[in-house]
Amino acid sequence: MSAAPLRPDDSPPQALAPPLAPPGTGLPPLKDVLRPILRPPPGRASAAVRRSLRAAFWLGLALVLLAGVVLPYLAPHWIPSVAFTAPSAEMAEDAYPPGTRMRDCRDAGCPWLVVLPAGEFLMGSPESEEGHQSSESPQHRVRIREPFAVMESEVTRESFGRFVDETGYKVGEGCRVWSGKDWQNGVKRNWRDPGFEQGPDHPVVCVDWNGARAFAAWLSQRTGQAYRLLTEGEWEYAARAGSSGRYHFGDKSADLCRYANVADQSAEKVYPNIATADCDDGHVHTAPVKYYQPNGFGLYDMHGNAREWVQDCWHDNYKGALEEGSTPWETNCSDDRRVLRGGSWFHSPDFARSAIRGSNTPGMGRGFAGFRLARTLKSSSFTPLPPEERSSK
């Protein structure tokens, strides 16, 4: 017996198709996802389960905040150092506002830097300036075309010791020290023992020009950034900080003890034959870096504590000097000498002026000579870490 043909109303039941989502709708709102977890409908979970779910949610949120926000500020040294990079398109000049205080890594192996603006100034001193020397003439206008960063203080014994320990660098043993009557080549004197007591936060001295350059190469390799000695033009620009007088703070040498560690009444008791400032800061030899007030750029010890090596070779005067301050003057040099700038714990007020110049052979250290470094910013992928006000120590 054949089955009767199906009539339209005898068709087998069809599965209902899921309703189409209204056009334009995307993912469900976050509150609709979290509500079933935090507040399950009655009958789908017990009170104990609901409490457990809520506790797990808030605990996870707290862990995320702790790891991503709180911990890096409370204990930055626990966080491994990483290279911070950014697309070159973001590295415009205004990525480094003048006065930005920064460093290339979080540990103490990286120095604090201050960004200096581009600008121009009158380099040298007029003949009318008290203490003027012929090597500071003729005065000439110098341009600094690009912003650059400078260590806010001189390289310390602690930092230099880290470099020596990591690299095994053999620092030259030649170091001239003051015996109390004259200069002597201290065969046994070196940066570890310059003939007087120093702390780890004192500027390293008895380091020759070659050692300063080696330190810059090590720091460049360690950070992936371009560290170097300042040019002579950059150094004076940084020391003056927009000023034009004997010192960055004015012309009165009696005020030096507020801003610089120079030979003063304390030193005169130990070295009676040296000229001293009419003040007393309590330090006969070197003092901790950042002990004195900074200049207008936020840089410390530009007038004292330790004289500083720069890249340029020595010229007896500024005849034929370069107008481009970011380029070292290394042609037509006078003998085999490199330039030292600034004053030190040993120098009188006249030898601590912004314009003062000196020199020494690159393989000979001095008991009063150290250095600081600059860092090139142009074409860099560095993001300041962390930016701070330059007045902060």
Query: Which pLDDT band, with edges at 50, 70 and 90, does 48 fall under?
Result: low
Query: Which of 234, 240, 247 lies closest to 353, judged by CA?
Result: 247
Mean pLDDT of the chain: 81
Fold that domain 88-388 belongs to in CATH: paralog of FGE (formylglycine-generating enzyme) (3.90.1580)
Report which of residues 58 and 310 the model is more confident about: 310
Range from 18-27, 139-148, 266-275, 336-345 carrying the lowest mean pLDDT:
18-27
Alpha-carbon gap, residue 358 to 314, rounded angstroms: 8
User: What residue type is 23 in one-letter code?
Assistant: P
What residues contact 180, with CB distance under 8 A and at least 6 apart? 270, 271, 273
pTM here?
A: 0.74
- Summarize pLDDT for 236-277 with one digit per residue, the tens: 999 999 999 999 999 999 899 999 999 988 888 788 777 788
SS3 of the chain: the string is: CCCCCCCHHHCCCCCCCCCCCCCCCCCCCHHHHHHHHHCCCCCCCCHHHHHHHHHHHHHHHHHHHHHHHHHHHHCHHHCCCCCCCCCHHHCCHHHCCCCCEEECCCCCCCCCEEEECCEEEEECCCCCCCCCCHHHCCCEEEEECCCEEEECCCCEHHHHHHHHHHHCCCCCCCEEEECCCCEEECCCCCCCCCCCCCCCCCECCCCCHHHHHHHHHHHHHHHCCCEEECCHHHHHHHHHCCCCCCECCECCHHHHHHHCCCCCHHHHHHCCCCCCCCCCCCCCCCCCCCCCCCCCCCCCCCCCCCEEEEEEECCCCCCCCCCECCCCCCCCCCCCCEEEECCCCCCCHHHHCCCCEEEECCCCEECCEECCEEEECCCCCCCCEEEECCCCC
* Residue 284 and residue 345 in contact, taking contact as beta carbons nearer than 8 Å: yes
Tell me: pLDDT of 90 over 50.
no
**pLDDT, average across residues 208-234:** 96
- Mode of pairing for the β-strands spanning 140-144 and 119-123: antiparallel
Range from 20-29, 186-195, 372-381 carrying the lowest mean pLDDT:
20-29
Instruction: Report the percent of the chain where pLDDT is more than 70.
Output: 72
Query: Which pLDDT band, with edges at 50, 70 and 90, does 56 fall under?
Result: confident
Residue 386: HSE in the Cβ half-sphere, 13 Å Cα cutoff: 6
Alpha-carbon gap, residue 82 to 95, rounded angstroms: 20
Range from 85-94, 137-146, 194-203 carrying the lowest mean pLDDT:
85-94
Alpha-carbon gap, residue 288 to 290, rounded angstroms: 6
Domain boundaries, the chain: 52-81, 88-388
Neighbours of 213 (CB within 10 A): 18
* Residue 190 and residue 200 in contact, taking contact as beta carbons nearer than 8 Å: no
Range from 9-18, 73-82, 241-250 carrying the lowest mean pLDDT:
73-82
Report which of residues 42 and 360 the model is more confident about: 360
